[in-house]
Amino acid sequence: MSDSDNASGGAVSADDVKKIARLSRLHVEAGRLQPLADDLNGILGWIEQLAEVDVEGVEPMTSAVDMAAPMRKDEISDGGMREAVLQNAPKADDGFFVVPRSVE
């Protein structure tokens, strides 16, 4: 996936799919890389028509109804519910989540 300012930078290759899958934390079987690349190219090719729209000077959409972002006091309003937080954990021990080792 080479950097490009231009959406029509080129078709997605099987290699690109492998990189996208890695970024997405998904595993794609070698045999599925090219069919997925074809799928993505179909979708991206169709999305390409957005390039026809004149968006010069147009602000990106932020909200449907104009509203100021609500402000509130920065104070603790919740907490002290360790049991509830851990209740759905695949693995928990002694009040902690148990996760695979990430530092050798």
Partner 1 sequence: MTDLTKLTLEAALGGMAKGEFSSVELTDAHIKACEAGGKLNAFITDTHELAREQAAASDARRVSLKKSGGEAGLLEGAPIGVKDLFCTEGVKTCAASKILGEFTPTYESTVTANMKADGMVMLGKLNLDEFAMGSSNETSAYGPSINPWRKDKDLVPGGSSGGSAAAVAADLCLGATATDTGGSIRQPAAFTGTVGIKPTYGRCSRWGTVAFASSLDQAGPIAKTVKDAAILLESMAGYDAKDSTSLNIDVPKWSGACGQSVKGLRVGIPAEYTVDGMPAEIQALWDKGVAMMKDAGAEIVPISLPHTKYALPAYYVVAPAEASSNLARYDGMRYGLRVDGKDLNDTYDRTRTAGFGDEVRRRIMIGTYVLSAGYYDAYYLRAQKVRSRIVEDFQNAWNSCDVILTPTTPSAAFPVGHKFSDPVQMYLNDIFTVTTNLAGLPGISVPAGLSADGLPLGLQLIGKALDEETVFKAASALEAAAGFTAKPEAWWA
Binding site for partner 1 (CB under 8 A): 1-7, 9, 12, 16-17, 20-21, 23-27, 36, 39-40, 42-44, 46-53, 55, 58-61, 63-65, 67, 69-70, 72, 81, 84, 87-91, 97, 99-102
CA distance 93 to 100: 13
Smallest distance, Å, CB 19 to partner 1? Answer: 9
Give the residue with the Cβ less far from partner 1, 59 or 94. 59
Beta partners for 96?
93
**With contact defined as beta carbons under 8 Å apart, do 41 and 12 qualify?**
yes
Give the residue with the Cβ less far from partner 1, 59 or 74. 59
Give the residue with the Cβ less far from partner 1, 2 or 30. 2
Tokens for 17?
């799919």
Smallest distance, Å, CB 93 to partner 1? Answer: 13
Smallest distance, Å, CB 67 to partner 1? Answer: 7
CA distance 90 to 100: 12
**With contact defined as beta carbons under 8 Å apart, do 19 and 40 qualify?**
no
Beta partners for 58?
none
